[in-house]
Amino acid sequence: MTLLLAGDIGGTKTILQLVEAKREESKGTVEFKSLYENRYSSHDFPDLVPIVQKFLAEANEKLGQQFQPEKACFAIAGPVINNTVKLTNLPWMLDAKLLENELGVSQVSLINDFEAVGYGILGLTDNDLETLQVGEPQGDTPIAVIGAGTGLGECFLIRGGGAVRVYATEGGHTDFAPRSELEFDLLKYLLAKHNIDRVSVERVVSGMGIVAIYQFLRDRKSAAESPEIAEVLRKWETEIGSSEITVDPGAVIGKAALEKSDRLCDKTLELFVGAYGAEAGNLALKLLPYGGLYIAGGIAAKILPLMKSGTFMEAFNHKGRMRVLLEKVPVHIVLNPKVGLIGAAIRASNL
């Protein structure tokens, strides 16, 4: 058995998990058992090391024995280069080699948080998924992962030689491709509003994209704006750039759309879900992921009824004569919010 430390490190919170990994050589599988888990406010610490030290001390006290992880993997919200990373929303600079020395862990890996989601797909069960399209699953074919949250992540998995590799991409920064007159108007609106010369798909398919779509539809008077939603937007706009944002307008808009209590929010999520499905279909066309396309990120599971309404899958499959290929792709929504932490543990076990 191997003792692992898995971490999901974000600008707001850090989640750590102590994991016991048992490799079944005869089956070629690894079983994971969570021993202890806790979360911390990232801003309360000057670095990752004191968080880990506090976590291990708590685990030792809670479980009544001394633990020293052999391997560790931390999923980081930021670009990882040569096993080092400067966090996007924290004044932390992390280096895997320094962490190995300071924590006494023989091997430490730093990976991008969405790459961790890719590894986490391998550890999910049927209960962690909502299937939108059964498709025709095929082994030894690519697996695609897309996830809208704060931004838009995309990665893919390739199987071969008894192993699985996860490859991160910057697919969320490809161009937004309008499919209708309304979406062309949205494109022109965003170009003018932000005084930019291109619009990435992330500006539309993400949490900030929900807000952008809402503002677009509001400004073109597609439906009346409610005073309650208007107040949330005003508060959010005054807090932009501050260290603490107290409201999440994307979540408020999504909730109103789920409750069918606001026509403008309804139209916003309808456009958003369609654009999300179209981009997922674009990713599927490039990879033909008959091993499955998984929808992760923080948004899909929260608006599950809207994702299941048919709008997403119609946009996904609406690819002309290529439709017959995409209808064979299994499509699943990831319901488990700890998929990134699961992925960090899997990656640590493979070190």
For the cut 90, the answer to whether the pLDDT of residue 87 exceeds it is no
CA distance 66 to 319: 57
**Domain co-membership, 321 together with 209:** yes
Q: Is 141 annotated as a binding residue?
A: no
Task: Encode pLDDT of 225-265 as tens digits.
Answer: 999 999 999 999 888 877 678 889 999 999 999 999 999 99
**Domain co-membership, 185 together with 46:** no
Q: Is 320 annotated as a binding residue?
A: no
**Domain co-membership, 177 together with 102:** no
CA distance 266 to 309: 12
**Domain co-membership, 345 together with 311:** no
**Domain co-membership, 317 together with 330:** yes
The chain-wide mean pLDDT, for the chain, equals: 93
User: Does 154 reside within a domain?
Assistant: no
Q: Count the domains in the chain.
A: 2
Q: Is 126 annotated as a binding residue?
A: no
**Domain co-membership, 182 together with 257:** yes
Task: Encode pLDDT of 154-199 as tens digits.
Answer: 999 998 777 889 998 999 999 999 999 999 999 999 999 999 999 9
User: Does 144 reside within a domain?
Assistant: no
CA distance 114 to 98: 23
**Domain co-membership, 92 together with 177:** no
In terms of residue numbers, what domain contains 16? 2-124+337-350
Residue 247: what residue type?
A: V
pLDDT for the residue numbered 243: 67
User: Does 114 reside within a domain?
Assistant: yes
Q: Is 185 annotated as a binding residue?
A: no
Task: Report the CATH number that the domain containing residue 34 is assigned in CATH.
Answer: 3.30.420.40
**Domain co-membership, 117 together with 182:** no
CA distance 117 to 141: 18
User: Does 137 reside within a domain?
Assistant: no
**Domain co-membership, 229 together with 116:** no
A 10 A CB-CB count for 160 gives 8
**Domain co-membership, 44 together with 25:** yes
